[in-house]
Amino acid sequence: MWVPQLSEFNQPVYLSIADALARDIGSGLLNDGDRLPTLRELAVTLNVTPGTISRAYSEAQRRGLVQGEVGRGTYVLAQPPLVLPEGSSAPSLSLGQAEALDLSIIKPYSETLEYWLRGALVGMARSSDFGRALDYAPDGGHPAHREAGAQWLRHSLPEANWQQVVITSGAQHGLMVAISALSNAGDLVLCESLCYPGIISVAHGLERRLRGVGMDEEGILPEALREQCLREKPALLVCVASCQNPTTAIMSPRRRAQIAAIAEEFDFLIIDDDIYGFLATDPSIKPLSSYAPQRSVYLTSLSKAIMPALRVGYLYSPPKLLSRLSSMVRSSVWMPSPLTAQLASNVIVEGLDRKLVQTQRNEAAARQAIARDVFAGLEIRTQPHSYHLWLTLPEPWTGDEFATLARANGVLVMSGSQFQVERGASSRCVRVVLMSPTTQDELRFALTQLASLIEADPRRYR
């Protein structure tokens, strides 16, 4: 029996049932001619009155989704194909064959994304909430979209409430918003000595003085952070405490508590960039921001967990910082796209997000196994469900030399020098991304290419 997955938006139950019908028809879960449950059957299942189900079916019939027949029940109607305006044609764009196997960009496995996206888009277009996605949003985002964001956050922050959520146009925009709102030009901003290049570009673009803090296998060293604070007071610390990019380091709870205590002692704010938190091996480890909630802004997004095109980020802030963050969102983009936020909210409320996350974790684990096999004997740092690994090359290789040679042989990786906050000695590391190739066979081929190149003498190419 069909049972709808109801949204949690503030709307009557009968509309949520009709919306669920639209989504399930659009996704192919329900097909032309399928018989729906009787009013009484569905009312008992959902613990509502038969009158509520009757209103839902009437609303669905008004939308052209179903047809009721006396004595026979209610049936799904075939949906007409999308008709383009007269004189137009369906857009066609051929991207051609990729020239290289790209292991340089961190992104989720894409094989399953197109199927659910088609259904989600059709369902959203037929939803009674669709009008909300076409209008201006209030500061911080629509309450319903912020509540969906809070639902996503509750997997890491169980007490998250929607009033403290600010919607951004992805994590990179969220990072820019937080640094802009919480520091001034010339302020000192700290981060890991090896960090995501996007942090470097944002800090320099905003004229902040960025300094890297020494690291070990868990990430930032508390003693190195303390030494920096004794030399000069920072305004902010930007930290990736789980599956750090590029080293894949995960901070222990003890280390997180130490970093939070130093922030309290020296009175600076923390931007807890938890974009890879869903990949952590131990989900019980609390986010860094949980150890200093009144001086931390938690940042995450859906682009790595769900799909790159879903450019929706969420900042979770203590109340005292909310207005500054919301104002900076307005100053930078006026508002993130409500259309994208609505799509993201539908995915979260329907529970599809957790299914997709589990798909990504399973795929990452399988690809990590391939990497361990191909790179056996080499020095790598990674995590069981990480999208990437950190490979230390044997001497006399440098990361720059190897990345150049790999590109010439049709495989793209990033040299460790590109992650250095302060450029100094050459790096012997490269970051290798595992999720980009379409198939696991394609990944194995690319990694085998890299392994064979490592065995070569780099002096032949100088």
What residue ranges do the domains of the chain occupy? Answer: 13-76, 101-112+354-460, 129-350
**In this structure, what are the phi and psi dihedrals at residue 11, rounded to the nearest 5 degrees?**
-150, 160
SS3 content of the chain, % helix, strand, coil (to 5): 45, 15, 40
Largest CA distance in the chain: 83
Contact assessment for residue 198 and residue 163, using Cβ atoms and an 8 Å cutoff: no
The continuous run of DSSP H or E covering 315 comes out as strand 313-316
**In this structure, what are the phi and psi dihedrals at residue 260, rounded to the nearest 5 degrees?**
-65, -40
CATH code assigned to 101-112+354-460: 3.90.1150.10
Predicted pLDDT of residue 78: 77
- The 3-state secondary structure of 192-226 reads ECECCHHHHHHHHHCCCEEEEECEECCEECHHHHH
Cβ-defined contacts of 29-34 (< 8 Å, 24+): 29/2, 29/119, 30/2, 30/76, 31/76, 32/76, 32/77, 32/78, 32/79, 33/75, 33/76, 33/78, 34/2, 34/75, 34/76
CA-closest candidate to residue 403, choices 415, 420, 390, 419: 415
Given the DSSP bridges, would you call strands 73-76 and 66-69 parallel, antiparallel or unpaired? antiparallel
* Alpha carbons 394 and 371: distance in angstroms, whole number: 17
Predicted pLDDT of residue 94: 42
Low-confidence spans in the chain with pLDDT less than 70? 7-10, 79-99, 111-116, 457-462
CATH code assigned to 129-350: 3.40.640.10
Give the pTM. 0.78
How many H-runs (helices) and E-runs (strands) does the chain carry? 14, 17
CA-closest candidate to residue 262, choices 217, 230, 294: 230
* Alpha carbons 459 and 462: distance in angstroms, whole number: 5
Task: Please enumerate in sequence order all residues whose Cβ is within 8 A of that of 64, keeping only pairs 6 or more positions apart, or say none.
Answer: 77, 79
Domain spanning 13-76: CATH 1.20.1050.10: no
* Alpha carbons 43 and 24: distance in angstroms, whole number: 19
Question: How many C-beta neighbours within 10 Å does residue 158 have?
Answer: 9
Contact assessment for residue 140 and residue 146, using Cβ atoms and an 8 Å cutoff: yes
Give the dihedral sign, CA 17/19/23/25.
positive
Q: Measured between alpha carbons, how far is residue 98 from residues 184, 276, 424, 435 in Å? A: 42, 27, 34, 16
